[in-house]
Structure 1
């Protein structure tokens, strides 16, 4: 078996042995000789750390519900929704510096750091639930620190985007994202069983000694240490990922940065927002339903669907898959509204799970669009300027796409905050209650947003006159 040092194509002595200087995934000979193996190893560890990050990010989505049921903290429904929402807001903000951290410090180096940062929210959770006198404002601040888990996604996706060739980038990014997204399901499935509330479809019974939420904090703190050690031992830094901030920040002036961000708010914002709110919505609207048996299902199937969105986009085009995903999300939302108004649990569960599947597909397809859009834009500008350096244009396109992936993920996470906060605001407007009419109103707002996404996808990316399709040396199927 070859050692890690032997399989590494070229190493920079001036930076240290974990830096790879030569990286050309578009070169078939290089890819088959060493690139694929190295990329796969880095992808696997990236998935692990991102998975842990998502778990910590969504930790309060289930802990908030268990606080009320088993700890009698006396928080209102609005307070609980905002307790669940605040990690989304912080995570969305942190995704911006996390995006630029990879080109500054290297993917492997920053993955170690981001994994160790997960210790902060995990151990603060232990401190909060171990003191019965902990006030709401302290809970809110502690929940906010869980946002570091949300930041992981941006740095992880930015890093992995450099490892894979364009022809397989959709599937690679889809697998990386799906592995992370599954963390939302893992924490919602695992926490009830770990803390003594029962779960796993009755395989684990409730503890006779009561619920101890501190166990969840200790468990994920230990896992964070494992993730950091794996990143330190098995990952690599790529010199090609390094870029000055001024080169990356140029993407904020690109029109397509904001268009794809709008679309990702619709897909990922819905996924993470629904994942965070799902347990509370079940407990408030259907109090007789066992939350531990159902809360994790949405995040699970949504995460599993994501790589299929990337895979389909590699074959059919990301814009086409995204366009039909939003049409399906619109239809699914109409059924959710009907289920809420009818107070039908089977219809509510079925339609909500359908939404999770479609958001997962849309997450994968939207992210697949980004590398192709910015590659084409770079080539089109090169042709317009009379230049002939195609490789330089491709390199610029990859750098800009990596920055856009991070910024888009930040705005998508902010959309998740908006989803959960909408439920909390409606609770406040209804004097401490969350009636079915208010929940239906929230989904009507989301429905209107999906319609805008349909229109924007068609106008900018699926019309035959879309200008980026005129870029040379790239087929139109990629977008």
Structure 2
């Protein structure tokens, strides 16, 4: 029997929400969930653009700004760090304020770093001022955590890979969009303030549309304890480690690619801008495919083989960097971006499946198991996203040290290759390895729980 349509109170609240009920989903749930998804994507998209703003602005900052390559890598590292840290409170914010309400607030907050950058972006501004304004831009990275936590609650488990992949991919694509916009502005001999002036009204539009068309779920409200429970679960931190390898790579390379081309291959800012957007664009577009493949074949399997591809691509990058082969370097770097995007989709699909499997292993059934899995997976996504984004900090600092020590990015790529190898080993050992056979009959149930992770 189809449940009644959701009832609402002031502020667009939905009191009843059961996406796992097929009748409810077809009658009203899917339409509402998709509407919230699209406007969540828009807000998160603008957030990603603001977060990665300084990866573009540093290309405008020529010798007249007085910054060294190491200064620029440190600046982008600081921006990435703040974006990672604020993902934790942004995850709690959905439960405190409601998904729609927090989307309005978080979108509106993006005006602060954008207007501040518009104000200070000129030669003669001190490096400390640029660092401070870069810190403010980091809040754009938090939108991802709250958006994913919110959208996770709207969709049934069988649709989460696609929905979360589309939500994240639409947000990730904010990176190449702002890079393409910057390319057009640089090509037209425009300045950085033109770029910032374009985004200020877009932020207002995103906040207004969220207010008009999004909803709050009462079932998510006031469940701040879920994040504490998720933080105590070992799988939250295992998945965070794996997400460093996928999303940390995506966001870290997005910030660093242009600087690697200018410092390692002698490209001008305009020449670099012609190339930097390709990888983030393809990596963003393929993220929903990673989620879909994970829905069909299992996220753990897709993630495992994706790390094989990332390691192979990184090995080729080491050769290209040592030989100073720009065509090989750019083409393989784009492949690495694509694989990072694919892995982003598959790793995030694993999260709800893992907690659902744990709920079943505890003996929960039906709606109780679904509710338990949805509660913990939604909370863990923000924590996993925060730690994963720290990988972007590590990548920028690794490039900074590599260029200071060796004059190229080769040393950093060697470190990245080693990390992908460890991620492969962890994925196999935790989620795909069959447990050793033991004579005890009781091992059967334990084996079943272990094997279920292969399907997540």
Q: Which runs of 5+ in 2 are unaligned?
A: 437-444
Query: Which residue number corresponds to residue 9 of structure 1?
Result: 5
The range that moved more, 329-338 or 456-465, is 456-465
Query: Which residue number corresponds to residue 451 of structure 1?
Result: 421
1:242 aligns with 2:234: no
1:323 aligns with 2:304: yes
**Conserved 8 A contact 2:255-2:396:** yes
1:478 aligns with 2:416: no
**Conserved 8 A contact 1:115-1:224:** yes
Aligned residues: 444
Residue 75 of structure 1, aligned match among 40, 57, 67: 67
Deviations 1:388-420 (A, max 9, x none): 554223212111000111100000111111101
**Conserved 8 A contact 1:270-1:415:** yes
Query: Which residue number corresponds to residue 111 of structure 2?
Result: 119
Query: Which residue number corresponds to residue 169 of structure 1?
Result: 160
Residue 181 of structure 2, aligned match among 179, 190, 195: 190
Query: Which residue number corresponds to residue 354 of structure 2?
Result: 373
- Counterpart CA distance in 2 for 1:51 and 1:287 is 31
Structure 1 389/298 Cα, relative in aligned 2: closer, same or farther at 3 Å? closer
Aligned-pair CA distance for 1:17: 4.5
1:422 aligns with 2:398: yes
- Counterpart CA distance in 2 for 1:355 and 1:468 is 37
**Conserved 8 A contact 1:185-1:300:** yes
Query: Which residue number corresponds to residue 407 of structure 2?
Result: 435
- Counterpart CA distance in 1 for 2:98 and 2:447 is 33
- Counterpart CA distance in 1 for 2:334 and 2:108 is 33
Deviations 1:300-333 (A, max 9, x none): 0111111110000000000000000001000000
**Conserved 8 A contact 1:11-1:18:** no
- Counterpart CA distance in 1 for 2:365 and 2:421 is 40
**Stretches (4+) displaced over 4 A:** 466-469, 474-477
TM-score using structure 1 length: 0.89
Residue 463 of structure 1, aligned match among 425, 430, 433: 433
Deviations 1:205-262 (A, max 9, x none): x33xxx4211222211111100000100010001122243223211111111111000
**Conserved 8 A contact 2:357-2:452:** no
Q: Which runs of 5+ in 1 are unaligned?
A: 1-7, 199-205
Calculate the aligned-residue CA RMSD, in Å: 1.9
Query: Which residue number corresponds to residue 439 of structure 2?
Result: none
Secondary structure of the structure 2 residue equivalent to 1:292? helix
Deviations 1:266-320 (A, max 9, x none): 0000010001100111111222461221111111011111111000000000000
- Counterpart CA distance in 2 for 1:469 and 1:317 is 18
TM-score using structure 2 length: 0.94
Structure 1 409/340 Cα, relative in aligned 2: closer, same or farther at 3 Å? same
- Counterpart CA distance in 2 for 1:184 and 1:250 is 33
- Counterpart CA distance in 1 for 2:385 and 2:7 is 31
**Conserved 8 A contact 2:432-2:454:** no
Query: Which residue number corresponds to residue 403 of structure 1?
Result: 379
**Conserved 8 A contact 1:273-1:420:** yes
Query: Which residue number corresponds to residue 441 of structure 2?
Result: none
Query: Which residue number corresponds to residue 219 of structure 1?
Result: 198
- Counterpart CA distance in 1 for 2:162 and 2:447 is 22
**Conserved 8 A contact 1:376-1:468:** no
Secondary structure of the structure 2 residue equivalent to 1:294? helix
Aligned-pair CA distance for 1:180: 0.4
